[in-house]
């Protein structure tokens, strides 16, 4: 429908970290890959948790699902391959896969974008990567960071705000007032995958910076909002290394990035407001089947909701709300403010963000979120 007002619009964009629906999670779905050892393990778990017999495509999102349904766009990192091939990448400690049909679980949370640039996309070699990309295409979910060709791996995913409807008539009527978003993706590991052209690997060299600048600044016309989704840094490190922070600043200063969507650490990291941009260094693990590290609490995470406001033909970050979550029996759950884990997440995010001069409001929001206003 055509807009009849000049009042600037604000949109809500949700960002989450690693979504790993392979291995034991995959075995909970009615359709799953053939993996007898995993099937035996999860069968034992279900005997002690009989409610998991009803695990379905909505289950991974559980009480967080309303946050996704009420958002204008949703972004995540897909931390697994989606394939039935059994040909593992050699000498990896963990090789994750889910059945391609289970990609449809992402649709239950209205996921618009899934990053494929991470250290598990090629767990089952290029065949597994290609199967993953094809599954996302069938589901109508945008992706970046890997592809069936080098061009597809490095090009941006293109999204629209307001979200495009399946109704072509409605889309054509809204075309004049829509905004284009470009989402690029890359990973700094594993270096063993450097020889794979269909995977977008980066490092911190000047040559990589030059390549990224050319990639991110030569597209015409320029999008209203530019997002860079990046799998970087080691596991279990509270603060990003100097080279990571320097690259984040470069992406903003030289490449025009508005939101840096960081993931890989397995736990929450801090947020930096840099100029007019938002840098989320580590979103944390959102849902998976991992063992819990008692110090870094990789079972605790958040939905990071960035508000973007209309400024002429552009969209600019105007605020951030962080909704603490926890992984409980293969499901992501909103944390109540009375829960000690809620206080832990809030305290840790404030502490880590404080190192960058970022100050959240002291008062917790009405929905249990921690709030950051961006001027």
Asked if residues 185 and 115 have their Cβ atoms less than 8 Å apart, the reply is: yes
For 58-105, how does the pLDDT look when each residue is reduced to its tens digit (9 = 90+)?
Answer: 999 999 999 999 999 999 999 999 999 999 999 999 999 999 999 999
For residue 67, tell me if it sits in a domain.
yes
Q: What is the domain extent for residue 132?
A: 11-155+182-373
For 103-121, how does the pLDDT look when each residue is reduced to its tens digit (9 = 90+)?
Answer: 999 999 999 999 999 999 9
Residue whose pair of structure tokens reads 């709300």 in the numeric block: 321
d(CA 307, CA 9): 10
Task: Give this prediction's pTM.
Answer: 0.96
For 12-61, how does the pLDDT look when each residue is reduced to its tens digit (9 = 90+)?
Answer: 999 999 999 999 999 999 999 999 999 999 999 999 999 999 999 999 99
Apex 279 CA angle, 277 and 285, nearest 5? 145
Q: For residue 299, what is the domain's CATH number?
A: 3.60.21
d(CA 32, CA 150): 30
Residue 210 has pLDDT above 90, yes or no: yes
Q: What is the mean pLDDT of the chain?
A: 95
For residue 36, tell me if it sits in a domain.
yes
Out of 38-47, 137-146, 160-169, 256-265, which region has the weakest mean confidence (pLDDT)? 160-169
For residue 1, tell me if it sits in a domain.
no
* pLDDT for position 135: 98
Structure tokens at 145: 């960071």
For residue 16, tell me if it sits in a domain.
yes
Asked if residues 25 and 289 have their Cβ atoms less than 8 Å apart, the reply is: yes
For residue 165, tell me if it sits in a domain.
no
d(CA 52, CA 352): 35
The mean pLDDT value for 177-186 works out to 96
* pLDDT for position 174: 46
Task: Count how many domains the chain has.
Answer: 1
For residue 187, tell me if it sits in a domain.
yes
Query: Backbone phi, then psi, for 347, in 5-degree steps?
Result: -60, -40
For residue 281, tell me if it sits in a domain.
yes
Residue 176 has pLDDT above 60, yes or no: no
For 227-278, how does the pLDDT look when each residue is reduced to its tens digit (9 = 90+)?
Answer: 999 999 999 999 999 999 999 999 999 999 999 999 999 999 999 999 999 9
For residue 175, tell me if it sits in a domain.
no
């Amino acid at each position: 429908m055509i807009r009849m007002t000049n009042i600037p619009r604000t949109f809500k964009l949700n960002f989450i970290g690693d979504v790993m629906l392979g291995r034991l999670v995959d075995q909970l779905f009615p359709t799953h890959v053939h993996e007898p050892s995993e099937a035996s393990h999860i069968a034992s778990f279900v005997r002690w948790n009989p409610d998991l017999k009803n695990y379905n495509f909505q289950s991974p999102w559980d009480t967080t699902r309303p946050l996704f349904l009420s958002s204008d766009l949703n972004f995540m990192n897909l931390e697994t391959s989606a394939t039935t091939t059994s040909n593992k990448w050699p000498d990896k400690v963990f090789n994750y896969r889910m059945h391609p049909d289970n990609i449809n679980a992402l649709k239950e949370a209205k996921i618009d974008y899934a990053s494929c640039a991470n250290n598990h996309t090629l767990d089952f070699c290029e065949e597994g990567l290609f199967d993953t990309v094809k599954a996302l295409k069938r589901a109508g979910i945008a992706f970046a960071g890997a592809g069936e060709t080098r061009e597809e791996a490095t090009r941006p995913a293109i999204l629209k705000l307001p979200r495009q409807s399946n109704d072509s008539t409605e889309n054509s009527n809204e075309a004049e007032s829509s905004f284009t978003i470009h989402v690029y993706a890359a990973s700094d590991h594993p270096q063993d995958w450097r020889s794979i052209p269909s995977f977008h690997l980066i490092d911190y060299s000047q040559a990589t910076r030059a390549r990224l600048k050319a990639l991110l600044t030569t597209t015409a016309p320029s999008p209203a909002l530019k997002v860079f989704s990046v799998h970087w840094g080691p596991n279990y490190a509270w603060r990003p290394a100097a080279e990571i922070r320097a690259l984040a600043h470069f992406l903003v200063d030289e490449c025009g990035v508005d939101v840096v969507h960081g993931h890989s650490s397995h736990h929450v990291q801090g947020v930096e407001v840099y100029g007019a941009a938002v840098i989320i260094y580590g979103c944390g693990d959102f849902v998976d089947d991992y063992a819990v590290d008692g110090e870094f609490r990789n079972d605790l995470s958040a939905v990071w909701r960035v508000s973007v406001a209309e400024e002429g033909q552009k969209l600019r970050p105007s605020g951030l709300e962080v909704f603490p979550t926890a992984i409980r029996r293969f499901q992501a759950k909103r944390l109540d403010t009375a829960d000690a884990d809620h206080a832990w997440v809030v305290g840790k995010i404030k502490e880590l963000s404080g190192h960058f001069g970022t100050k959240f409001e002291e008062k917790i929001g009405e929905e249990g979120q921690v709030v950051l206003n961006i001027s």
